[in-house]
């Protein structure tokens, strides 16, 4: 039998057990709660971090937006400026285009490879090629220049300008072949174009039709020729009759009269020489100079000229120095032309050197591409130099020395006679026979003229 | 002249003053002188007078000197060995003249203004001496 107290005790024990159970559960719950609280704390912290980060990003975004706005504003300004500039450029380009188009001379521009990039209206007119045909192609494909004398291609002055970077000028007597095959005389030059003064980026070729100039020149030359021929007859008559008077077969002329007649005769000789010089010039220019290249001992020709000048040399008490290359040079050349070249230079040396001065004549052999006084020798040649220690050519006038009718101021003041044609003739003759001539001079110290005679090849014709 | 017979020279020149000077000088030198003032007259005088030598100008009216020479050379009655000396103010540089002269030997060329009367006389005497 179970007593009541026992029953109570059992109940109590059950109760205690339940309590214990509940407590335990509570403990577990508390632990769980603590854990959860901890986790919540962590989450909260993380969230806080993210929030903070977000705040920073937002700030940055705001900043970027502001910057973008500034850039945008700047862009607007730039765009406006650009628009304005484009407008100005369009105007300038248009102006340049119309300037180029209305230039009286033909203008062609090439890039550094020789590809044509510009071809103006006049160029189209002169050549007959349209800008479309020429632009984008190498200049030499369509635009061809030939020499008037033999119709052979002329020197490539455009290529030279591109290669050397120096301005080049087309040699005289050049013809342009038009699209239709006809030829017209032209004159022109090629000027290199440089970017910021250094890099060569192409060249500008300017050329013009000189048909009319040529015609005028021809008319002028014919005029000179006719006048000279007309002058020759009267001078010949004076020459013959003064000779007859001086001959004086009757023996009636007094010494005084003979003196006067001699004055007439020498003045007449001067006139004859001037007329002959003028005739030679017009012949050279009209291209009707007949040349007769014969094997000629060059130095022999010089020696003859010197022999004929002996009287003038001793009259002025000049010292003459001669120094020739040891070899005898027999060259196929026109004796008369060679004589004209040398006697012009030699008589100038005598004329412009004062009493007791020194003149020297030298010859030496020079090779192709050799450099003599900054001058590149074009082919194997005989180089002749004629120097004097005379009045010299003033520096300011030196570039005009070979031009027609030029006489330097100091020469003119000392010697009133002289046609200013001698050196022009020298240059023309040497141009024709393939030689070269140059000089250096210092006022009051003297002058040296150098000229070359090709040793192998001599261009045969001067005539048409 | 060393020859017994007087030698005959024909001078053809259209400029009276020059013709006169040549005629007088060659007369003084002992020549028998024929004269003409253009190529046609010269041609006729040459055929008729049979000169030993001819002094001939080139530029003349009616007929020029070169034509006259060519016509003479083509003429059967004409002695082709008679030397012709051109006296002209044209230059020998002119190719046509030189060509015709070399084709018609014996023909010579003298530039009037470059030579004295004395030089012409000597040249002519030399040519005539060659012939004898």
User: A122: domain CATH number?
Assistant: 3.30.450.20
The reply to whether B72 falls in a domain is yes
Domain presence at residue B130: no
Last residue of one domain, picked from the residues A209, A243, A273: A209
Check residue A260 and give its pLDDT.
92
Q: What is the DSSP letter of A148?
A: T
Would you place residue A121 in the very low, low, confident or very high pLDDT band (cuts 50, 70, 90)? confident
Domain boundary residue, one of A102, A129, A144: A102
Domain membership flag for residue A249: yes
* Residue A332, token pair as written in the block: 């196929």
Residue A345 CA, distance from chain mean position: 29
3-state secondary structure of A231: helix
Could you give the CA distance from residue A12 to residue B109 in angstroms, rounded to a whole number? 175
CB contacts of B122 in chain A (<8 Å) are: none
Q: Which of B98, B113, B117 sits opposite A272 (nearest CB)?
A: B113
A414: closest CA among A442, A441, A387, A393? Answer: A393
Contact A283 B118 (CB under 8 A): no
pTM above 0.80, yes or no: no
In a domain, A144, yes or no: yes
pLDDT at B30 over 60: yes
- Residue A400 shares a structural domain with residue A442: yes
For residue A227, the distance in angstroms to the closest alpha carbon of chain B comes to 12
Tokens 């030089």 correspond to what residue? B119
Residue-level pLDDT at B91: 56
Rounded mean pLDDT, B6-18: 89
Measure the CA–CA gap between B120 and B11, rounded to whole angstroms. Answer: 12
Nearest CA in chain A to B111: A236
Placement of tokens 């000779």 in the chain: A243
Q: What is the 3-state secondary structure (H, E, C) of chain B?
A: CCCCCCCEEEEECCCHHHHHHHHHHHHHCCCEEEEECCHHHHHHHHHHHCCCEEEECCCCCCCCHHHHHHHHHHCCCCCCCCCEEEEECCCCCCHHHHHHHHHCCCEEEEEHHHCCHHHHHHHHHHHHHHHC
Q: Calculate the average pLDDT of chain A.
A: 84
Confidence of residue A455 (pLDDT cuts 50, 70, 90): confident
By the 8 A CB rule, do B56 and B65 touch? yes
pLDDT digits (tens, 9 = 90+) for B81-119: 788 888 877 654 566 676 777 776 777 766 665 677 888
- A294 contacts in B (CB within 8 Å)? none
> What's the pLDDT score for residue A460?
44
Same domain, A263 and A307: no
For residues A359 and A452, membership in a common domain is answered with yes
Per-residue pLDDT at B114: 62
Question: Residue B39 is part of which domain span?
Answer: 8-125
Is residue A125 domain-resident?
yes
Cross-chain Cβ contact B17/A241 below 8 Å: yes
Number of domains present in the structure of chain B: 1
- Among A50-64, A319-333, B25-39, B103-117, the least confident range: B103-117
Q: Among residues B131, B76, B75, B84, which one has the least CA distance to residue B107?
A: B84
User: Looking at the predicted structure, is the pLDDT value of residue A75 above 60?
Assistant: yes
Asked if residue A215 belongs to a domain, the reply is no
Query: What average pLDDT does this structure show over A292-319?
Result: 86
Alpha-carbon span B43 to B53, nearest angstrom: 13
Q: Check CB contact under 8 Å for B18 and A276.
A: no
pLDDT band at A44 (very low <50, low <70, confident <90, very high): very high
Least confident piece of the model among A193-202, A246-255, A281-290, A371-380: A281-290
How far apart CA A262 and CA A253 sit, in angstroms, is 12
Which of B17, B113, B116 has its CB closest to that of A243?
B116
Mind listing the pLDDT tens digit for each residue in A197-246? 677 888 888 888 888 888 887 787 777 777 777 788 888 889 889 988 88
B3, with CB counted inside 10 A (0-12, 13-18, 19+), is: exposed
Which of A237, A271, A288 is a domain's end point? A288
Average pLDDT over residues A115-122: 88
Chain A nearest-CA distance from B119, in A, is 11
Q: Round the CA-based radius of gyration of chain A to a whole number and report it.
A: 49
The percent of residues in chain A predicted with pLDDT above 70, rounded, is 95
Spatial separation of the C-alpha atoms in residues A346 and A339, rounded to whole Å: 10
Q: How many CA atoms lie within 13 A of A404 on its CB side?
A: 9
Write out chain B residues lying below 8 Å of A239, CB-based: 113, 116
Q: How many CB atoms lie within 10 A of CB A1?
A: 3
Written as one string, the DSSP assignment of A107-129 is EEEEETTSBEEEE-HHHHHHH--
- How far the first Cα of chain A sits from its last, in Å, is 168
Which two structure tokens, joined as six digits, stand for A420? 């200013």
Count other C-beta atoms under 10 Å from residue A277's C-beta. Answer: 19
Give the CATH number, domain containing residue A317.
3.30.565.10
Q: Which residue has the higher pLDDT, A248 or A34?
A: A34
A186 with A256, same domain?
A: no
Domain range enclosing A400:
294-464
Contact residues for A184 (Cβ-Cβ < 8 A; gap 6+) = A126, A175, A176, A178, A209, A211
Q: Look at residue A63 in the predicted model and tell me its pLDDT.
A: 92
How far A118 CA sits from the closest chain B CA (Å)? 46
Chain A residues in contact with B90 by the CB 8 A cut-off are 229
Task: Count how many domains chain A has.
Answer: 4
- In chain B, the residue whose alpha carbon lies closest to the alpha carbon of A249 is B28
pLDDT at A459: 43
Cross-chain Cβ contact B89/A232 below 8 Å? yes
Q: Who among A232, A236, A290 is closest to B95 (CB)?
A: A290
Residues 6+ away with beta carbon under 8 Å from A1: none
Residue B117: closest C-alpha in chain A: A240
What mean pLDDT comes out for the span A378-401?
Answer: 86
**Chain B interface, best mutation among A290, A292, A428, by max B CB count within 10 A:** A290
Q: Which residues of A167-185 are buried (b: 16+ CB within 10 A; e: fewer)?
A: ebebeeebbbbeeeeeeeb
Query: How close does chain B come to A385, measured CA to CA in Å?
Result: 28
- Work out the number of other CB atoms within 10 angstroms of the CB of residue A432: 20
Q: Are residues A353 and A444 in the same domain?
A: yes
> What's A181's DSSP letter?
S
Q: Is residue B132 part of a domain?
A: no
User: What does the pLDDT read at residue B92?
Assistant: 47
pLDDT at res. A464: 33
Q: Which residues of A touch B113 (CB under 8 A)?
A: 232, 235-236, 239, 272, 275-276
CATH number of the domain enclosing B48: 3.40.50.2300
Cα nearest neighbour of B57 on chain A: A233
Residues of chain B with C-beta less than 8 angstroms from the C-beta of A463: 95
Relative to beta strand B8-12, strand B53-56 is parallel
Task: Give the integer Cα–Cα distance in Å for A332 and A220.
Answer: 33
Does residue B1 lie in a domain region? no
Q: Is the pLDDT score of A291 beyond 70?
A: no
Q: How far apart are CA A277 and CA A271, in angstroms?
A: 10
- Interface confidence, given as ipTM, is 0.79
Contact A243 B17 (CB under 8 A): no
The pLDDT score that the predictor gives to residue A462 is: 40
pLDDT in tens, B42-74: 888 888 888 888 888 887 888 888 888 888 888
CA distance A330 to A196: 52
A285 has pLDDT over 50: yes
Mutate to test the interface with A, among B99, B112, B113, B114 (most CBs of A within 10 A): B113
Angle at CA of residue A296, ends A292 and A300, nearest 5°: 130
Chain A residue set in contact with B, beta carbons under 8 Å: 229, 232-233, 235-237, 239-241, 243-244, 247, 249, 272, 275-276, 279, 283, 288-290, 336, 463
pLDDT at position A62, please?
A: 92
What would the two tokens of residue B47 be? 């055929």
**A299-335: string of b/e by CB count within 10 Å (b at 16+)?**
bebbeebbeebeeebeeeebebeeebeeeebebebbb
Please give, rounded to a whole number of angstroms, the shortest distance from the CA of A238 to a CA of chain B.
10
Q: Using omega within 30 degrees of 0 as the cis cutoff, is the peptide bond preceding A427 cis?
A: no
Amino acid A360: pLDDT: 92
Closest residue in B to A231 (Cα) is B89
Q: What percent of chain A has pLDDT over 90?
A: 18
Shared domain for A377 and A242, answered yes or no, is no
Contact A243 B117 (CB under 8 A): yes
For A390-410, what is each residue's pLDDT tens digit? 888 888 888 888 887 777 777
Contact A431, A321 (CB under 8 A): no
**Chain B residues with CB-CB distance to A under 8 A?**
15, 17-18, 21, 24-25, 28, 59, 89-95, 98, 112-114, 116-118
Choose between A457 and A386: higher pLDDT: A386
Predicted pLDDT at A40: 93
Q: Nearest residue on chain B to A290, judged by CA atoms?
A: B93
> Residue A287: closest CA among chain B residues belongs to which residue?
B94
Q: Which residues of chain A are within 8 Å of residue B59 when distances are taken between CB atoms?
A: 229
Sign of CA dihedral A263, A265, A267, A269: negative
For residues A390 and A357, is the Cβ–Cβ distance under 8 A? yes
**A214 is a domain residue:** no
- Considering the domain boundaries, does residue A7 fall inside one? yes
| Contact across the interface for B89 and A233, Cβ inside 8 Å | yes
The beta-carbon neighbor of B93 closest among A244, A272, A283 is A283
Q: What number of C-beta contacts closer than 8 Å exist between A and B? A: 53
The answer to whether residues A304 and A345 belong to one domain is yes
Of B18, B28, B114, the CB nearest to A240: B18
Is the pLDDT at A461 greater than 50? The verdict is: no
Range A17-24 average pLDDT: 93
Residues in chain B within 8 Å Cβ distance of A249: 28
Distance, in Å, from the CA atom of A124 to the CA atom of A116, rounded to the nearest integer, reads 13
């Amino acid at each position: 039998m179970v007593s009541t107290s026992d029953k109570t005790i059992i109940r109590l024990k059950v109760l205690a057990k339940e309590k214990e159970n509940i407590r335990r559960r509570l403990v577990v719950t508390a632990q769980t709660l603590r854990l959860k609280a901890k986790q919540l704390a962590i989450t909260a912290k993380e969230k806080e971090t993210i929030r903070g980060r977000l705040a920073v990003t937002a700030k940055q975004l705001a900043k970027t937006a502001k910057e973008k706005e500034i850039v945008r504003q700047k862009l607007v300004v730039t765009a406006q400026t650009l628009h304005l500039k484009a407008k100005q450029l369009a105007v300038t380009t248009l102006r340049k285009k119309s300037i180029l188009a209305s230039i009286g001379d033909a203008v062609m521009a090439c890039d550094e490879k020789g590809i044509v990039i510009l071809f103006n209206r006049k160029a189209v007119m002169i050549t007959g090629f349209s800008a479309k045909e020429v632009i984008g192609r190498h200049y030499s494909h369509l635009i061809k220049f030939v020499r008037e004398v033999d119709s052979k291609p002329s020197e490539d002055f455009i290529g030279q300008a591109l290669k050397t970077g120096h301005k080049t000028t087309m040699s005289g007597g050049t013809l342009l072949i038009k699209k239709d095959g006809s030829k017209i005389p032209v004159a022109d030059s090629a000027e290199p174009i440089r970017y910021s003064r250094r890099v060569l980026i192409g060249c500008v070729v300017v050329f013009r039709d000189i048909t009319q100039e040529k015609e005028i020149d021809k008319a002028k030359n014919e005029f000179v020729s006719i006048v000279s021929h007309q002058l020759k007859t009267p001078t010949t008559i004076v020459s013959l009759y003064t000779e007859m008077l001086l001959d004086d077969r009757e023996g009636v002329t007094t010494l005084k009269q003979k003196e006067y007649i001699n004055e007439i005769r020498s003045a007449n000789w001067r006139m004859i020489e001037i007329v002959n010089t003028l005739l030679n010039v017009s012949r050279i220019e009209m291209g009707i100079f007949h040349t007769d290249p014969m094997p000629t001992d060059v130095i022999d020709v010089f020696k003859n000229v010197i022999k004929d000048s002996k009287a003038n040399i001793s009259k002025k008490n000049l010292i003459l120095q001669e120094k020739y290359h040891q070899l005898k040079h027999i060259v196929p050349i026109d004796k008369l032309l060679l004589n004209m070249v040398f006697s012009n230079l030699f008589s100038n040396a005598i004329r412009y050197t004062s009493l007791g001065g020194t003149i020297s004549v030298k010859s030496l052999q020079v090779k192709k591409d050799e450099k003599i006084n900054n001058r590149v020798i074009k082919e194997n040649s005989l180089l002749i130099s004629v120097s004097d220690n005379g009045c010299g050519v003033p520096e300011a006038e030196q570039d005009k020395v070979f031009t027609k009718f030029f006489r330097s101021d100091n020469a003119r003041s000392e010697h009133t006679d002289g046609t200013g044609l001698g050196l022009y003739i020298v240059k023309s003759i040497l141009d024709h026979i393939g030689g070269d001539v140059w000089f250096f001079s210092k006022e009051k110290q003297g002058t040296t003229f150098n000229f070359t005679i090709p040793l192998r090849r001599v261009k045969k014709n001067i005539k048409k | 002249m060393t020859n017994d017979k007087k030698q005959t020279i024909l001078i053809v020149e259209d400029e009276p003053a020059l013709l006169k000077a040549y005629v007088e000088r060659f007369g003084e030198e002992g020549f028998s002188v024929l004269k003409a003032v253009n190529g046609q007259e010269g041609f006729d005088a040459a055929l008729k007078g049979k000169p030993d030598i001819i002094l001939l100008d080139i530029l003349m009216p009616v007929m020029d000197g070169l034509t006259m020479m060519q016509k003479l050379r083509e003429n059967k009655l004409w002695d082709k060995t008679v030397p012709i000396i051109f006296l002209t103010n044209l230059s020998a540089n002119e190719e046509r003249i030189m060509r015709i002269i070399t084709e018609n030997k014996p023909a010579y060329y003298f530039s009037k203004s470059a030579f004295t009367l004395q030089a012409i006389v000597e040249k002519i005497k030399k040519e005539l001496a060659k012939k004898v």
